[in-house]
Amino acid sequence: MKRVLIIIFLFGVISCAPIRVNYDYDRETNFSEYKTYNYYSDMKTGLSELDTKRFLEALDAKLETLGITYSETPDFFIDIKSAAFQSNQQSSVGVGVGGTGRNMGGGVSFGIPIGQSSIIRQITIDFVDENLKQLFWQAVCESNYSPNRIPKEREAQLIAIVDKVFSGFPPKK
């Protein structure tokens, strides 16, 4: 019971961090036709081996709740890519001095950065119909990332990412 409460707490704390998702999909696709999936065998996720395992487990669980099952002969394949980059500092304090007088002007200003820049991880999930040889759904997710998190926090964040990504699947017409 204590472990469940800790996971719920961590999930709550991590879910406060913004997770932004952008979707794109083929409007002609009938999503109800896709019932089975598999992953590309040569997929390079860009995540650590342990984070890849955590992410795929969360993805498998979510797809199962949507009625989509893993298969050796799938209707579509999933490709996952990720990259981490450092965001720019967004907050600063500006101090300025200026003056004017009879057709003359001048001024001096400078910005003092506040806070630290953060690391953003972008994960792209592609659903590809191999029979038609085309991408039919894509989600690009961005969230804050800290490589120093403990495994439970990493798992909670990856579950939150999967939940947020699939809150928009299948797309509403």
CA distance 159 to 143: 12
Q: Give the domain ranges of the chain.
A: 2-87+115-168
CA distance 133 to 113: 48
Nearest to 117 by CA among 86, 84, 146: 86
Residue 97: per-residue pLDDT: 54
Nearest to 121 by CA among 138, 151, 150, 142: 142
Q: What percent of the chain has pLDDT over 70?
A: 72
Q: What percent of the chain has pLDDT over 90?
A: 45
CA distance 24 to 82: 17
- Rounded to an integer, the average pLDDT of 21-28 is 91
Q: Which two tokens stand for residue 160?
A: 């939150």
Residue with more model confidence, 51 or 172: 51
- 14 pLDDT exceeds 80? no
Cβ atoms 78, 38 nearer than 8 A: yes
Summarised one tens digit per residue, pLDDT across range 30-62 is 999 999 999 998 889 888 899 999 999 999 999
* Residue 137 binned pLDDT confidence (cut-offs 50, 70, 90): very high
Residue 13: per-residue pLDDT: 45
Mean pLDDT (the chain, rounded)? 80
CATH number given to 2-87+115-168 = 3.30.160
- 15 pLDDT exceeds 50? no
Cβ atoms 144, 118 nearer than 8 A: yes
What's the gap between Cα 113 and its chain centre?
Answer: 27
Nearest to 25 by CA among 145, 125, 153: 125
Summarised one tens digit per residue, pLDDT across range 83-126 is 887 766 555 555 555 555 555 555 555 555 555 567 888 999 99
- Rounded to an integer, the average pLDDT of 132-137 is 91
- 153 pLDDT exceeds 70? yes
Nearest to 63 by CA among 28, 27, 39, 29: 39
**pTM greater than 0.75 (yes/no):** no
